[in-house]
Amino acid sequence: MSETGEKSQGQRPAFEEELEQRRKSRLLRIMAISGALVCTLSLVLLPILSSGYPAYYFVTAFQLLCCVLAILLYRRRRLALASRLYPVSVSLSIVGFIITRIYYEQVSGYGVYYLPMTVLAAGMLLSSKYTFRFATWTAGLIVVIAVVARAMLPFDANQYRTEVLGPLIAAGILCYLMALVAWLYGSSLEGALRQLSERSQQLELANQEIRAFSATLQDKVEERTGELREFVSMVAHDLRNPLTVIRGYTEVLKEGQAPASRERQMRALRAITANVDHMLYLTDDLLALSRLESGTVEFDMGAIPVEALIEQVSAGFQPRLAEKGLGLELEIATDLPLIWGDSLHLTRVLNNLVGNAYYYTPSGEVTIGAHRVNCSVEVSVSDTGIGIPQEEQGYLFTRFFRGEHPVVRSRKGAGLGLPIAHSIVEAHGGRMWVESETGKGTTIRFTLPVASDIPPVGIGPNASQAQ
């Protein structure tokens, strides 16, 4: 049932139901109050206009009572009952006036044409189904008027047909025409409400999307803000320490050139050089990552042998690995194709991966491998070191991320090496991933495109020139 008691056709949206309820409530209030005022005015004027017909008082008083009752029901939120009471009471009042005139042997007149108006009023207050029912109810009242008029008026057959049946039949037809008009009005109104409801739902969905986007954007802003705070804190810490050391040793150098201070000055110079190198390394990493993410890095692309890169990097690390007691194994497949890339940047990637394996492997060995996979060459760096916990592996290529293992924390670093290596590989059209188990070692793999194939588009500003 709707708010006015009608059974709706299917499940209607709550928004549409609310609008329909407001419309019918406002219309019912206007009709009931107007009816009460008209009835009150009629009771005042009846002694002047219709003296000698006391039945008019009872009919008007009945209608006034029904209007007041409809208002009370409306105020008590009994809209369904009030919406039926008002048009029924109006139609009965009209019939009462007509029968009163017949009783006093007067022609029914054209007051019967007020009955179709009650059908229209019912159509505005009720559903289309009840509107046609009310038209049928009004047609039945018209039949009652015809029977009463035939029994009480002193008309012959021709006069009865002309002055009674003619207006009554026309009024009955008008009742159904008014019902049709009310139905068309209700249908168009329901269509408009449906469109309004659909637009409202679309707006609500758009608002939800905007709120979701706003929440996502806020999360990203908070995430970036957190990263920025962490970055500022990390950079300030990493730059402050070497600056403090440099400042301290410059004081040593101010002590003069006395032989006793010569050794202290040399130690100061070495410390200053080491700390300046650390600061330069940090700033170089920050600049490299910024350029990679902004796409302003200029790659010197060409066809290069991956074996040469691996042998160059392994030769550089061999003494350090041997000094730490770590073995170095090369597992390079034969007949590897040339890869398409920048040898300088790819050497940096390998140096970073082998360097991490060196630092985080207390004992065992480091293995560098390369073999072809479809249209790419896959390079891997494996170690038997401390490994990476599963929950940390998803953050491994994130800027400024460093693991919680004591060995990782004991070594200075900004957490930029792997993100830089990851960005370089992706800029070459490859991908990088990690395989690790805590306490058993780590393997980091990455792929590079084969030079014989068409180079991926957009791998560097100078890629087209290198071809």
Q: What pLDDT band is residue 24 in, cutting at 50, 70 and 90? A: confident
Say if 167 falls within a structural domain: yes
Res 11 pLDDT > 90:
no
Q: What pLDDT band is residue 287 in, cutting at 50, 70 and 90? A: low
Q: What pLDDT band is residue 445 in, cutting at 50, 70 and 90? A: very high
Q: What is the mean pLDDT of residues 300-313?
A: 90
Say if 283 falls within a structural domain: no
Whether the CB-CB separation of 119 and 141 falls below 8 Å is answered with: no
Q: What is the mean pLDDT of residues 43-51?
A: 69
Select the more confidently predicted residue: 101 or 313.
313
The pTM assigned to this predicted structure is: 0.46
Select the more confidently predicted residue: 133 or 275.
133
Confidence (pLDDT) at 381: 93
Res 441 pLDDT > 80:
yes
Confidence (pLDDT) at 457: 47
Q: What is the mean pLDDT of residues 35-48?
A: 79
Same domain, yes or no: 20 and 133: yes
Instruction: Work out how many domains the chain is built from and give that number.
Output: 2
Give the residue from 180, 207, 234 where a domain finishes.
207
Say if 421 falls within a structural domain: yes
Mean pLDDT over all residues of the chain?
76
**Any idea what the Cα angle at residue 78 is, between residues 72 and 82, rounded to 5°?**
65
Q: 146-170: per-residue pLDDT in tens?
A: 888 888 877 777 877 777 777 888 8
**How far apart are the C-alpha atoms of 121 and 114, rounded to whole Å?**
11
Looking up residue 377, the CATH number of its domain turns out to be: 3.30.565.10
Confidence (pLDDT) at 71: 81
Confidence (pLDDT) at 385: 85
Same domain, yes or no: 203 and 310: no
Res 461 pLDDT > 90:
no
Give the residue from 167, 185, 207 where a domain finishes.
207
Task: State how far the alpha carbon of 316 is from the alpha carbons of 83, 321, 364, 365, in Å.
Answer: 95, 10, 19, 16
Say if 5 falls within a structural domain: no
- List the domain range (segments joined by +) for residue 401: 302-466
Q: 123-138: per-residue pLDDT in tens?
A: 777 776 778 888 888 8
Same domain, yes or no: 167 and 315: no
Res 145 pLDDT > 60:
yes
Say if 105 falls within a structural domain: yes
Res 407 pLDDT > 70:
no
One-letter-per-residue 3-state SS of the chain: CCCCCCCCCCCCCHHHHHHHHHHHHHHHHHHHHHHHHHHHHHHHHHHHHCCCCCHHHHHHHHHHHHHHHHHHHHHCCCHHHHHHHHHHHHHHHHHHHHHHHHHCCCCCHHHHHHHHHHHHHHHHHCCHHHHHHHHHHHHHHHHHHHHHHHHHCCCCHHHHHHHHHHHHHHHHHHHHHHHHHHHHHHHHHHHHHHHHHHHHHHHHHHHHHHHHHHHHHHHHHHHHHHHHHHHHHHHHHHHHHHHHHHHHHHHHHCCCCCHHHHHHHHHHHHHHHHHHHHHHHHHHHHHHHHHHHHCCCCCCCEEECHHHHHHHHHHHHHHHHHHHCCEEEEEECCCCCCEEECHHHHHHHHHHHHHHHHHCCCCCEEEEEEEEECCEEEEEEEECCCCCCHHHHCCCCCCCCCCCCHHHHHCCCCCCHHHHHHHHHHHCCCCEEEEEECCCEEEEEEEEEECCCCCCCCCCCCHHHHC
Q: What is the mean pLDDT of residues 71-87?
A: 80
Select the more confidently predicted residue: 466 or 127.
127
Give the residue from 154, 177, 207 where a domain finishes.
207
Tell me which of 10-24, 86-100, 381-395, 405-419 is least confident.
10-24
Q: 218-260: per-residue pLDDT in tens?
A: 888 877 776 666 665 566 556 666 666 666 666 666 655 544 5
Q: What is the mean pLDDT of residues 196-202?
A: 71
Q: How many residues does the chain have?
A: 467
Q: What is the mean pLDDT of residues 426-432?
A: 89
Say if 63 falls within a structural domain: yes
Res 347 pLDDT > 70:
yes
Same domain, yes or no: 190 and 315: no
Residue that has been written with the tokens 């588009």 in this structure: 457
Q: Which residues contact 251 (CB under 8 A, 6 or more apart)?
A: none
Confidence (pLDDT) at 146: 84
Say if 281 falls within a structural domain: no
Same domain, yes or no: 38 and 171: yes
Say if 262 falls within a structural domain: no
Q: What pLDDT band is residue 310 in, cutting at 50, 70 and 90? A: very high
Q: What pLDDT band is residue 406 in, cutting at 50, 70 and 90? A: low
Task: State how far the alpha carbon of 47 is from the alpha carbons of 42, 52, 53, 56, 108, in Å.
Answer: 9, 8, 9, 10, 21
